[in-house]
Amino acid sequence: FLSRHSGLWTLAILGLLVAIFGIVSPDFFSRASWLATSQYAVEYLLLGLGETFVIVTGGIDLSVGAILGFSGMVGGLVMRWLIQRHAGIVPEMVLGSIATIATGAAIGWVNGQAVTKLRLTPFVVTLGMLSMATGGIYLLNGGNNVSTIPDLIGTLGSFAIAGWIPVTVLITFCACIVAGVLLGATRFGMRTYAIGSNPLGAARAGIDTGKHLVRVYTISGTFAALAGLMVMARFASASVQAGNNDELDAITAVVIGGASLFGGRGTILGTVIGGFVITVMVTGLVLAGVQPFWQQVAVGAILIFAVAMDQLRDRLIERS
């Protein structure tokens, strides 16, 4: 059952967490709790989308959190520069957003080139990029946050349609749809699964695995940059702390959602469910009055549990 219906047990865990925290803290079902949980989920869902593509190919991207922070800082600095020159609200927002997304895509492209051209392992490449981008965040603005961004950015980040649907959540929902179609219903997605399942076989079938992996890492960087833009909108500033250690939560969400760290398996829907498992757990622990330190303990424990379940599924599939 676990080997064939991994999505069901993940959904069951999410339902169980909702029920438990609803009993422990009735405020969990309030509007304020929903807004906090959904906006908190935006960051990890967007990071998880790009991470899903990478993990399906059998790789890993440890730099997504740092890309989030670095690209957001670049976008914030561009917006501040345009504001100081009275460029106008539209150029400030459009050019700043383009700078943010382009920065993330460029870093992802560099990751892909290093993995394919230099033939380095994704773990080493993205770990190195994590360190460089983290240092770059502090170098860009002397370790200071950028608070001078268009007011409309902050307004959109805090506005909720009908009081229940934050704009950032709606944008993330659209991103999930696009990612789901791209991975599950296109030739690009088919090739992504093929590379993760059998890289040599995919190459022999005529797939240019090198170019495809570069595109995959570029997609991961792009989604991380979009997450940086959403975080900037939520807090109305570009923070040097944005994205700090978020890669662990993104990878955990993907693995909880049924993806295999060895590649060839994973879905966007599973990642979305996995992302909500983490955010519901963290929000529930806060409402239950649990110390913040235990949140990281819980996330780490869930990651180990998810990997163990992944190994169990593989063994069950081999026996069946």
State how far the Cα of 216 lies from the Cα of 82, in Å rounded to an integer: 32
Which pLDDT does position 10 carry in this prediction? Answer: 79
- Separation of alpha carbons 4 and 9, rounded Å: 10
Output phi, psi for 45, to 5 deg: -65, -45
Please give the pLDDT value at position 311. 75
pLDDT confidence of residue 286: 82
d(CA 218, CA 204): 24
pLDDT at 297: 84
Q: Give the pLDDT confidence score for residue 305 in this predicted structure.
A: 79
> What integer pLDDT is reported at residue 222 of this predicted model?
97
Collect all residues with Cβ–Cβ distance below 8 Å to 174 and sequence separation of at least 6. none
Return the pLDDT at 163: 82
Q: Which two structure tokens, joined as six digits, stand for 228? A: 């940086």
Neighbouring CB atoms inside 10 A of 130's CB total: 20
- Measured between alpha carbons, how far is 60 from 139 in angstroms, rounded to an integer? 26
Q: What is the pLDDT of residue 320?
A: 64
Angle at 273 between CA 315 and CA 267, to 5 degrees: 60
What is the reported pTM?
0.92
Both tokens assigned to 139: 């170098």
Is 150 within 8 Å of 92 (Cβ atoms)?
yes
**pLDDT profile of the chain (320 residues), mean per 10:** 61 86 84 86 94 96 96 95 90 94 97 95 96 94 90 87 90 96 95 94 93 97 96 92 88 88 90 90 82 78 77 71
Q: What pLDDT score was predicted for residue 6?
A: 57
| CA–CA dist 192, 179 (Å, integer) | 13
Which is it for the CA torsion 192, 194, 197, 200, positive or negative? Answer: negative
pLDDT recorded at residue 4: 56
